[in-house]
A and B are shown apart, each in its own frame.
Chain A
Amino acid sequence: QVQLQESGPGLVKPSETLSLTCSVSGGSISSNSWSWIRQPAGKGLEWIGRFYTSGRTDYNPSLKSRATVSVDTSRNQFSLKLNSVTAADTAVYYCARNLPSSPYFFDYWGQGTLVTVSS
């Protein structure tokens, strides 16, 4: 059973960089692609970006190149960095595995971590 767990600061100051890590257990991070998704309080879901095992990454253009997703295979973890944050980046952030047979969908999710952007 694949399990994902997000970790990182719950409070980030405006203009600084949000950094989150997703630890994966029950499966190798090298054999799948992985995504970050966020959800502002009371609102819908927004896909942030994805890391493929090939090293390729894709991002939501709405983030205007502020996001970076990377993988640490030695720790079986992947990370999200979002720079120049504003209050609009306040949300619950989820890490997720892309469905192996069709890596456009998200089959396993972490429990989510709330990140608040405030001074």
Chain B
Amino acid sequence: DIQMTQSPSSVSASVGDRVTITCRASQGISSWLAWYQQKPGKAPKFLIYAASSLQSGVPSRFSGSGSGTEFTLTISSLQPEDFATYYCQQANSFPYTFGQGTKLEIK
């Protein structure tokens, strides 16, 4: 299985900050990567696919980049509703696997 490793595991930031989360794959996955946001007690929300394509309706402050084994999710200016846990997911090969999550907390 392809292992997905996110860093950091948690990060504290303030409203208005720019935040970057990294996801590394244990082997190359081209651009077969998605990002999800999950709030406590809720289902994940689909944000970005194919590494950098923004899902319809997702604010433009979210962006994704990378290919191969290293990917980033950037939130350009944090809003109060962005504090949540973020997961990456690879779709290059079965079984699809997720990162362990990055918890974004209010400083």
Contact = CB atoms under 8 A, between A and B. Distances in A.
A58 B44 CA distance: 21
Interface in B77-107: 87, 89, 91, 94-101
Contacts, number: 56
Contact of A60 (B49, B55, B89, B95): B95
Contacts of A16: none
Contact of A111 (B42, B46, B96): B42
B94 A58 contact: yes
B87 A111 contact: no
Contacts of A112: 43
Interface string A52-75: 000000111110000000000000
B46 A47 contact: no
Interface residues of A, number: 21
B19 interface: no
A111 B55 contact: no
Contacts of A109: 43-46
Interface residues of B, number: 23
B43 A94 contact: yes
Interface in A36-59: 44-47, 58-59
A105 B43 contact: no
Given A104-B32, A106-B46, A44 B95 contact: no
Interface in A82-105: 94, 99, 102, 104-105
A119 B43 CA distance: 27
15 contacts: A44-B87, A45-B98, A46-B98, A47-B89, A47-B96, A61-B95, A99-B49, A102-B91, A104-B32, A106-B36, A106-B46, A108-B46, A109-B44, A109-B46, A110-B43
Given A61-B95, A108-B46, 19 more contacts: A44-B101, A45-B87, A46-B98, A47-B96, A60-B94, A62-B1, A94-B43, A99-B49, A102-B49, A105-B34, A105-B49, A105-B91, A106-B34, A106-B89, A107-B46, A109-B46, A110-B43, A111-B43, A112-B43
